[in-house]
Amino acid sequence: MKRREMLLSTSAALFGLSAFPLRRAFGQDKKRKVLYFTRSADFEHSAVQRNGDELSISEKVLTDLGKRHNVEVVCTKDGRVFDGDLDQYDAIAFYTSGDLTKADARNTPPMTVQGKKRLLDAIAAGKGFVGFHSATDTFHSAGERNQNQTEVDPYIAMIGGEFITHGPQQVATMGIASPNFPGLRDQNLGDSFELNEEWYALKNFAKDIHVILVQETEGMKGECYQRPPFPATWARMHGKGRVLYTSLGHRHDVWENEFVQNGIVGGFSWAMGLADADISPNLDKVAPKAAELPK
C-alpha cells in the first residue's frame, strides 16, 4: 500500500498526533482560546449539525483537540457574539454558509452588519482566523457565481477565495505545495495524497495567498472540475492577522482522520502565532491557471 493511499483507510491512525511536535507549539503557560462559529444562513452541513444540545462532530473534534493542547474552544451559532468581546479569543474559526447577517431556517441569531465589520477589523488588527469547507460559501461577492469578480465582498477578500459549486464526492488527489507548513512537516507524504471528500470548486483567489494544498483536477468526475488545478488550502496575511483556509471538512470520516487532525492543529498553531512558516505568495508558481473556469 502506498503511503498516500493509507489516508483512505483507518491506517491513517499511523499518522497520530505524536508524529508532529505540536505540543512544543501549544505547550505554553497561558491557555489559549478559540471561538468556533458554525452558523448556517444557507445550507447547513452535517458536520456542524447538532442533535439537540449535543455538539456536532466538528465541534467535538475541535473541542477534544483543544483539550489535548491547552486550548479552550468555545462553540456557538449565535451571531451576536461578534458584538461582544472579541479580544478574549486568540483565533476565530468559521464553518458557515450564506449571508450571516440574514435570518436562517433554524432561527439562530444573525450577525449584525457592525458585527461583520468588527470581525474583519479584529483580524486585520492581528486576530488569527481559520476557515473550514463552506467558510468560502459565506458572504458571496456580487455577480455571476460561475465567473471571477474584479471586486469581491470584504469577507471574501479576507479569506482569500470564494466557493462556486461542487460535484459528486469522490477520491481525488491533493498536491502538497508547501510541505513544511505546520501540520504537514514530518508526515513523509511525498508530493501528494488521496482522500475521499466533497471537493469544492473555487475562484476569486487573492494574489497574495500561499498555497498549501492544490486540487489536482485531472480525472475528476463533474463538469465543475474540468479546469486546471487550483488552490484548496492556503494561508495569507490580512493586515496583521494570520488567515488559514481549507476546503476539507464535509465528510465525518475526514474530521476523524488523524492526518487531517494533525493539519488542523498545525494550522491553528500558525494562525495563533505559536508556529511560524514561510507564506510567501506562490499562486503563480504552483497553480498558474487557477483563474481559468469551465466554459
Looking at the 3D structure of the chain, how many domains does it have? Answer: 1
Q: What angle do CA 257, 140, 85 make, to 5 degrees?
A: 75
CA nearest neighbour of 130 among 292, 294, 269, 228: 269
Q: Would you give per-residue pLDDT tens digits along the chain (295 residues)?
A: 334 443 443 333 323 333 333 444 444 568 999 999 999 999 999 999 999 999 999 999 999 999 999 999 999 999 999 999 999 999 999 999 999 999 999 999 999 999 999 999 999 999 999 999 999 999 999 999 999 999 999 999 999 999 999 999 999 999 999 999 999 987 778 899 999 999 999 999 999 999 999 999 999 999 999 999 999 999 999 999 999 999 999 999 999 999 999 999 999 999 999 999 999 999 999 999 999 999 8
> Which run of H or E residues covers position 233?
strand 230-238
pTM over 0.85? The answer is: yes
User: Which residues have a Cβ under 8 Å from the Cβ of 164 and sit 6 or more positions away?
Assistant: 145, 146, 200, 201, 202, 203, 224, 293
Any domain includes 294: no
Any domain includes 182: yes
CATH for 105: 3.40.50.880
Any domain includes 62: yes
> Which run of H or E residues covers position 72?
strand 71-76
Q: Look up the domain containing 209 and give its range.
A: 4-286
Any domain includes 295: no
Any domain includes 176: yes
Return d(Cα 41, Cα 104) in angstroms, integer.
5
Tell me the sheet residues that pair with 71. Answer: 32
Any domain includes 291: no
